[in-house]
Amino acid sequence: MDLALLGQYVINGLMLGMMYALVAVGFTLFFGVLDVIKFSHGDVLMVGAFTGYTTFLGLEAAGVHMPVIQIVLLVIASTVLVGLLGAAIAKYLILPLTNAPALNILLATMMLGTVLREAVRLFFPEGSNPKRFPRLLPDTVIPIGGFDLRVDSLMLLIAGVLVIVAIHTVINRTKLGLAIRAVAQDAETARIMGINFELVVLVTFAIGSAAAAVAGVMNGLYYNEINFGMGLLLGVIGFAAAIVGGLGNIYGAILGGFLFAALQTIGAVALPFASAYKDVFAFAVIISIMAWRPTGLIPEKVSERV
């Protein structure tokens, strides 16, 4: 394999890993504060991508054509609106079911995901058809030996790292993060100490959902296409990444995301018929790892649970 092709595989793997990690972080945040799995998370990502796309169309109609301004505004719109959606899901769907059997929440969030997908498909103009996401990032390349590094890929990777660093900082370096960790460790004791339990839950779901929105926008900017079903596979992969990394552990979620992307890349390079079997290979290895380490690669510690 020549250097250029190998380099492209590596960049693709890093991009996929970053998106998977952002989705997995949301799953682990939700599980940390409420011990729940929100199976509509992938579809929330899709809503974030479509929110960014709609914002771009609005800016174009308003005569705003500067790519930098467009990117900033569509990311802000996507993260804010999807963050609010995540908080609304927590307030009106998750919290009322906290004392119900766990399967009720799984079923409710699964049905919510269907509602979000079908709403976009039915009510978004020509929602059944894939949408061409705008090319807003530079299409220039940086020659490195025999490999041409795409500038847009580099910018997206840096943006993803900044988002993960921001979430890490909020969780570990702020009073809000301290409250989130307190609720995650012992919700009843946190309430007695005066922590607003409901507010912490709403903010946590908003942060996790906003991270998924960023992943959705990144996916659109990288592949220049979005569709109403894009969140299905991304949600399953994000959940698998959170599980294999260690559900409830942010660092495990990040590790799981990049591990899954690495397995897909290896499958695409090493297996016959390449991409046709890469997902099968990745999921098969993940199942094997889960059987070997049921608690995840980085087992959850009560004192670090978030």
Q: Would you say residue 1 lies in a domain? A: no
Q: Would you say residue 4 lies in a domain? A: no
The pLDDT value given to residue 44: 97
Q: Digits of tens for pLDDT over the chain (306 positions)? A: 566 677 778 888 999 999 999 999 999 999 988 888 899 999 999 999 999 999 999 999 999 999 999 999 999 999 999 999 999 999 999 999 988 888 899 999 999 999 999 999 999 999 999 999 999 998 888 887 667 788 888 999 999 999 999 999 999 999 999 999 999 888 889 899 899 999 999 999 999 999 999 999 999 999 999 999 999 999 999 999 999 998 888 999 999 999 999 999 888 877 766 566 788 889 999 999 999 988 888 876 544 445
Q: How many domains does the chain have?
A: 1
Q: Would you say residue 170 lies in a domain? A: yes
Neighbours of 185 (CB within 10 A): 15
How many Å apart are CA 290 and CA 295, to the nearest integer? 8
How many Å apart are CA 163 and CA 48, to the nearest integer? 15
Q: Would you say residue 228 lies in a domain? A: yes
Q: Would you say residue 146 lies in a domain? A: no
Half-sphere exposure of 257 (CA within 13 A, CB side): 28
Q: Would you say residue 224 lies in a domain? A: yes
The pLDDT value given to residue 128: 94
Q: Which domain holds residue 60?
A: 17-137+153-304
What are the Cα distances from residue 68, in Å, to 24, 81, 162, 219, 278? 28, 20, 17, 18, 35
How many Å apart are CA 41 and CA 148, to the nearest integer? 34
Q: Would you say residue 101 lies in a domain? A: yes
